[in-house]
Amino acid sequence: MFSTVHVPAAPPIAERLDRGLALIDRYGARAAQIGLYGSLALIYAWFGGMKFTAYEANGLVGLVEPSPLIGWFYDALSVQSFSNFLGVVELSIGVLIAARLAGPAWSLLGGLLSAGLFATTLSFLASTPGVAVPELGFPAITVLPGQFLLKDVGLLAISIWIAVDSLKSLRSHQA
């Protein structure tokens, strides 16, 4: 009256884990590469686009003005003009990083420019008033601007990784 249906047993957990690890071995490095290039290009598109707003331009003043590296820009350009210039630079870097699809030479240049930009913004940790919280002692820093600037350590590392990865790819294509 009732027929017996045979349901195969699920593979053991170790076998499923091995399959998952094999997928990571096969596609993980490429997925990470796409994620790093794509995320940094997205960040540059977003940040660069915001530079054309008065909101963002005015928000930069407290970081740029006290900087011995780039504070002089305000002697040559208005607050909005400098922000627009920076927006063009950031959008260009984002395009160069995304251009990895066209060739590694483009993303090598983008990674190097990006590393320079993030090294510059990290210098603001030393020149921007209000970064430290002296009453709490070292290493206490404020949320704004301190922690906001500190995130650029990670973005600098991604920029360097992109430059090195692009250089390795460029050299392997030339060999």
Which pLDDT tens digit goes with each residue over 44-57?
999 999 999 999 99
CB neighbours of residue 143 within 10 Å: 8
First to last CA, the chain: 71
Q: What local confidence, expressed as pLDDT, does residue 171 receive?
A: 94
Residue 8 has pLDDT above 90, yes or no: no
Tokens representing 15? 């076998």
Tell me the backbone φ, ψ of residue 146, rounded to 5 degrees: -55, -60
Q: Using 50, 70 and 90 to split pLDDT, how confident is the model at 13?
A: confident
pLDDT tens-digit map of 125-170: 999 999 999 999 989 999 999 999 999 999 999 999 999 999 999 9
How far apart (Å, rounded) are the C-alpha atoms in residues 18 and 28?
Answer: 14
Cα–Cα distances (Å) from 8 to 2, 4, 20, 78, in that order, read 19, 13, 20, 72
Residue 78 CB burial class (10 angstroms; 0-12, 13-18, ≥19):
exposed
Q: What local confidence, expressed as pLDDT, does residue 1 receive?
A: 60
